[in-house]
Structure 1
Amino acid sequence: MFVASTVVRNTASKFASAPLSAQFGMVVITLYIIAAVFAPQLAPYGEAQIVGSQFEPWSSAYWLGTDNLGRDMFTRLLFGARNTIGIAFMTTVLAFSIGSTCGLVAATFGGWTDQLLSRLVDVLMSIPQLIFALLLLSIFGTSTISLVLIIAVLDSTRVFRLSRAVAVNAAVSDYVEAARLRGEGPVWIMSREILPNILPTLIAEFGLRFCFVFLLISGLSFLGLGIQPPTSDWGSMVRDSATLIVYADITPLLPAAAIALLAVAVNLVVDWFLHTASGLKD
C-alpha cells in the first residue's frame, strides 16, 4: 500500500510539473488506453454487429451513425483503438527488440560483425518502406502475424541505426574501458554499461517509432493490406466511409482525426521526455 501511494504521488508530481502540452498529451494517451482496454464494456454494440441500414445518420441510437455495412461507427471507433493501437504497440516492441539488440551487438563487437549488420541494414533501407511492405504482404499474406513480423523487421532497421549510433559513442567511454579491463564480458558491458546510458534516447525513439508504425499500419489498412475485416481498424474505416465526404458528412474524418490526435499526443509527451532526460532547463 505504501509503495502504491508513493508511486501515485510521484506520478502526480511529475504530471503537475510537466508543461501544458505534455499534460494534454498524457491525458489524451490515457483516454486512448482506457478506450482500448475497456472497448467491450464501453461499446453499445458488437464489433462486427450489423445494427442498421447503410450510412444511418447520427442519432440517439447510433451516436456517430453507421458505416457502409450498417455497423455502429462509435463501436467501431472504440474497437479500432484496441486493434490499431495494440497491433502497433506489439509491432514497435518487436522492432525495438530486434533493432536495439543488433545495434548494441554491432557497437560492442565492431569489426566484421558491425560491417555485416550495417550492410544488411543498408540493403533493407535502400527500398522504400511502404513499397517493400506492400510487396512482402502480397507474397506472405495479410494475416495479423504477417503484418506484425514484416513491419517489425522493416522498422527495426531504423532502430538499429539509432541504437548503434548512440551505443558507439558510449562504447568508447572511460567507464566501458574500465569494465573491459576488469574482465567483464560483452553481455555485461552491453546490459550494464552501455544500455543504461543510452536508454533515455531509446525510450524517446520508441514513442516516435510507435507513431510511424501506427501511421504505417493505418495506411496499409486504408489500402486494404493492413488489418483485415471484420476486425475494426481506423485506416479501413476511413476507406469504407470515404464516399460520405461527397455529401459533406464529417463521419470519415472521425477515424482520421483519431489517428492524427494520437500521433500529436505521443509526440508532445516524447518532446517533454527528451527535454527532461537531457537535463535542459527552461
Structure 2
Amino acid sequence: MRLFGQTPTPSAKMGLSIIFIFLSLAIFAPWLAPYGESETLAGTWDPPSAQHWLGTDNIGRDIFSRLIYGARMTVAVALATTLLSFVFGTVTGFLAAVGGKWIDLTLSRIVDVMLSIPLLIFALIILSVFGSSIPVLILTIAILDATRVFRLARAVAMNISVTEFVEVARLRGEGLWWIIRREVLPNAAPPMIAEFGLRFCFNFLFVAGLSFLGLGIQPPLADWGGMVRDNAQAISFGLMAPMWPALAIALMTIGINLVVDWVLSINSRPSGASAEL
C-alpha cells in the first residue's frame, strides 16, 4: 500500500485503518446498525446484553446503533465544514498573496477582525441567532475556520509568488487565476494537504463540543458530542454510557493525527535524489 509515493509507516497504517473503519460505519450506517437511530427499545441506561451490546442510553435507545449513526453525522458535518473552509480560505489566501497590495491589505484586515473575536464565542452568537440547523452549523464553522486556512495559504503562497517561475509567468502576461491555478496551487499542495488533516481534526472536535453544549447537531439525530451530553449523568451511577461516544471521538482524533504526522514527515524530507558518480 503506497500513498503520496511513499509506503505508510506502521503508525500511519493504524491511523488509516481507524479512519477507514469510521468512514465505513458512516457510509453503511443504515445497514450496519441493528436498530433505528431514534428507536426507543428498553429502559434507561440498561446494562450491555445480547440485544444491546453497549447497553441503552438515557431514554432507552440502543447505544451501539446510535454510535454507528453518530459516525455518519459527526464525520459528515466535520468533512463538509473542512472542505468548505478550505475552498474559502485557500482561494482568498492565494488571492491575497498574488493579487497585489490592496487586495492583500483588505482581505488581511477582514481576517484580523474575525480572529480578534474568540472562536467559540463567535460561533455561539451566530448559532444562537440563526439556529442550529445543519446548513447553518456547517456554514458558520466553515467561515470561522477559513480564517485559519487563509493565514497558512497566504504565507505559503507569499513564498511561492516571489520565485522565478512565477515572475516568468507574469512576464509572459499570464492572468491572476492562471498563476494561482497552474503555479501556486501545485507547489502549495503538500503543506495544504497536511493542514487539511489538522483542520478536519479541529472541526471534528469543534462540532462535537458544540453538540455537547446543545448548539451543534440537534436531537433526534445522533452525534457523538450530543451522546456524551445526554448520558453524562450516568457516570454518577458507575455506568459506561457516556464513555463509548467519548472513546469514539478520541479514536478518530488519534487516527487523523497519526496520518497527519506521517504526511508532515514526508513533506519535511529533503527533496532531490543523490546522483551516482
TM-score of the aligned structures, taking structure 1 as reference length: 0.93
Deviations 1:154-183 (A, max 9, x none): 000000000000000100000100111111
The corresponding residue for 1:67 is: 57
Match of residue 139 from structure 2: 149
Q: Is 1:40 the counterpart of 2:17 in the alignment?
A: no
**Match in the other structure for 2:104:** 114
Structure-2 change in CA distance of 1:179 and 1:24 (3 Å): same
Give unpaired runs (5+ residues) of structure 2. 272-277
The answer to whether 1:255 aligns with 2:245 is yes
In 1, Cα distance between equivalents of 2:9 and 2:99: 41
**Structure 1 residues 13-22 or 226-235, which shifts more?**
13-22
**What amino acid maps onto 2:50 in structure 1?**
S
Return the letter of the residue paired with 2:147.
T
Q: Report the structure, 1 or 2, having the larger helix content.
A: 1
Match of 2:204 in 1: 214
Q: Which one of 83, 105, 115 corresponds to residue 73 of structure 2?
A: 83
SS of the residue 2:173 aligns to: coil
1:69 Cα deviation after fit: 1.1
Residue 257 of structure 1: CA displacement? 1.0
Question: Is 1:279 equivalent to 2:269 in the alignment?
Answer: yes
After superposition, residues 189-200 of structure 1 pair within 5 angstroms as 189-200=179-190
Q: Residue 113 of structure 2 aligns with which residue?
A: 123
- The residue correspondences of 1:159-174 to structure 2 (distance < 5 A) are 159-174=149-164
Instruction: Give 2:40's match in structure 1, choosing from 50, 53, 61.
Output: 50
Q: Kindly report which structure 2 residues correspond to 1:6-17, keeping only aligned pairs within 5 A, or say none.
A: 12-14=1-3, 17=7
Q: Tell me the distance in 1 between the aligned counterparts of 2:210 and 2:23.
A: 22
- 2:69–2:223 contact (8 Å) kept in structure 1: yes
The Cα offsets for residues 200-238 of structure 1, whole Å up to 9 and x where unpaired, read as: 111100000001111111000000000000000100100
Q: How many residues align structurally?
A: 270
| Cα distance in 2 for residues equivalent to 1:148 and 1:126 | 21
What is the alpha-carbon distance in structure 2 between the residues aligned to residue 13 and residue 148 of structure 1? 32
Q: Which residue of 2 aligns with 1:6?
A: none
Shift of residue 250, structure 1, vs aligned partner: 2.0
Q: 1:23 aligns with which of 13, 16, 36?
A: 13
**What residue in structure 1 maps to residue 90 of structure 2?**
100
1:176 to 148, 153, 166: 166
Preserved CA contact (<8 Å) 2:45 2:241: no
TM superposition shift of 1:278: 3.0
Question: Structure 1 residues 80 and 212 mapped into 2: Cα distance closer, same or farther (>3 Å)?
Answer: same
How far did residue 275 of structure 1 move?
Answer: 1.2
Residues 240-260 of structure 1: CA distance to partner in whole angstroms, max 9, x if unpaired? Answer: 111111122222111011111
> How far apart in 1 are the matches of 2:240 and 2:27?
26
Q: What TM-score do you get using the length of structure 2 for normalisation?
A: 0.95
Provide closer, same or farther for how the CA distance between residues 205 and 13 of structure 1 changes in structure 2, counting only shifts above 3 A.
closer
The percent identity for this pair of structures is 54
Question: 1:280: Cα distance to partner?
Answer: 4.5
CA RMSD of aligned residues (A): 1.3
Q: Measure the CA separation in 2 of the matches of 1:13 and 1:170.
A: 28
Give the superposition deviation at 1:16. 8.8
From the superposition, tell whether residues 193 and 16 of structure 1 become closer, same or farther in structure 2 (CA, over 3 Å): closer
User: How has the CA–CA distance of structure 1 residues 127 and 50 changed in structure 2, closer, same or farther, with 3 Å as cutoff?
Assistant: same
Report the residue type matching 1:124 in the other structure. M
Question: Partners of 1:31 and 1:114 in 2: how far apart?
Answer: 42
Deviations 1:27-62 (A, max 9, x none): 100101111111111100011111111111100010
Q: Give the letter aligned to residue 83 of structure 1.
A: M
Distance 1:62 1:231 in 2: 19
Question: C-alpha separation between the residues in 1 aligned to 2:265 and 2:18?
Answer: 20
Measure, in 1, the Cα distance between the counterparts of 2:182 and 2:230: 50
Q: Which amino acid aligns with 2:225?
A: G
Counterpart position of 1:5: none
